[in-house]
Amino acid sequence: QAGVRYCSNQPPRTDALAVVAGLRPLAAPTGNSNKTTENSRRHMVSVSDSKLLTATGGKLTTFRRMCQDALDKAVKIGCLHQKESRSATQDIYSAIPTSDRSNHMYIYGADQEMINALDQENPEWNEKLIPHLEFKKAEVVWAARNELARTVEDVLSRRVRMLFLDAKAAIEAAPNVAKILAQELEKDEDWQNDQITHFQNVAKNYILK
């Protein structure tokens, strides 16, 4: 609704392929106040009497700073030795330099080659999950073997993220995902059907009514 004010050609509701709302955890204010407006939007690092460190609040995009502050606090209370922080320049797992983001597989970094090589084990895995999106069957296999994906929702919500891009497409892809997972996890047809039904019920909440 807000976006249409800035578009010369106003998008219809049918252009909204998925909707999502999230809850942001906020660190509670000190004292007896119950006003949420006083909750800090930043993260907080607290220390218990037993020297247990707890990081609360914050958000995923500031995870490096959250970790750095937690480690600095651990140094301050004598749990760790002082060392120079490398967080700002430390690459995450499988990171490789890339400027080409035309192929969605770039998000896998160095693992991309191993995912693409799965079609040597089974050529069918090089096929798309559904015709109009680029996600491949090999990504489901990879998620099951290397990313602890155990359900259709795991794959379509938390691995390839198709649910957040196009909820109806994710519903369409669910049977293919369930079949591949069943093969990888040695599950039966009843499990597949339960997985498909469960995911359909979840995905309906992401479709704009």
What's the half-sphere exposure (Cβ side, CA atoms, 13 Å) at 200? 9
d(CA 18, CA 20): 7
Say if 97 falls within a structural domain.
no
Task: Say yes or no: 69 and 109 in one domain.
Answer: no
pLDDT confidence of residue 26: 78
Which of 89, 117, 139 lies at the terminal end of a domain, its last residue? 89
DSSP string, 148-183: ---SHHHHHHHTS-HHHH-HHHHHHHHHHHHHHHHH
Say if 7 falls within a structural domain.
no
Residue 23 has pLDDT above 80, yes or no: no
Residue 41 near residue 69, CB atoms below 8 Å? no
Which of 89, 118, 142 lies at the terminal end of a domain, its last residue? 89
pLDDT confidence of residue 31: 65
Task: Say yes or no: 131 and 180 in one domain.
Answer: yes
Task: Say yes or no: 118 and 66 in one domain.
Answer: no
d(CA 141, CA 184): 7
- Nearest-Å Rg of the Cα atoms of the chain is 22
d(CA 160, CA 174): 12
Count of domains observed in the chain:
2
Q: What is the pTM of this model?
A: 0.81
pLDDT confidence of residue 169: 98
Q: Which domain holds residue 50?
A: 13-89
Task: Say yes or no: 132 and 178 in one domain.
Answer: yes
DSSP state of 90: P
Task: Say yes or no: 72 and 157 in one domain.
Answer: no
Say if 2 falls within a structural domain.
no
Task: Say yes or no: 50 and 142 in one domain.
Answer: no
Say if 1 falls within a structural domain.
no
Say if 110 falls within a structural domain.
yes
The contacts of residue 145 (CB under 8 Å, 6+ apart) are: 184
Residue 160 has pLDDT above 70, yes or no: yes
Task: Say yes or no: 18 and 83 in one domain.
Answer: yes
Which of 89, 116, 141 lies at the terminal end of a domain, its last residue? 89
Q: Among 143, 146, 145, which residue's Cα sits nearest to residue 157?
A: 143
pLDDT mean across residues, the chain: 90
Distance set, CA 74 to CA 25, 27, 54, 186 (Å): 23, 19, 11, 44
Task: Say yes or no: 132 and 40 in one domain.
Answer: no
∠ Cα 202 133 181 (to 5°) = 55
Task: Say yes or no: 53 and 137 in one domain.
Answer: no
Task: Say yes or no: 155 and 73 in one domain.
Answer: no
Task: Say yes or no: 146 and 181 in one domain.
Answer: yes
- In this prediction, residues 72-81 reach a mean pLDDT of 92
Task: Say yes or no: 41 and 121 in one domain.
Answer: no
Which range of 18-22, 82-86, 194-198 scores highest in mean pLDDT? It is 194-198
Tens-place pLDDT, residues 194-204: 999 999 999 99
CATH number at residue 118: 1.10.8
Residue 196 near residue 155, CB atoms below 8 Å? no
Say if 164 falls within a structural domain.
yes
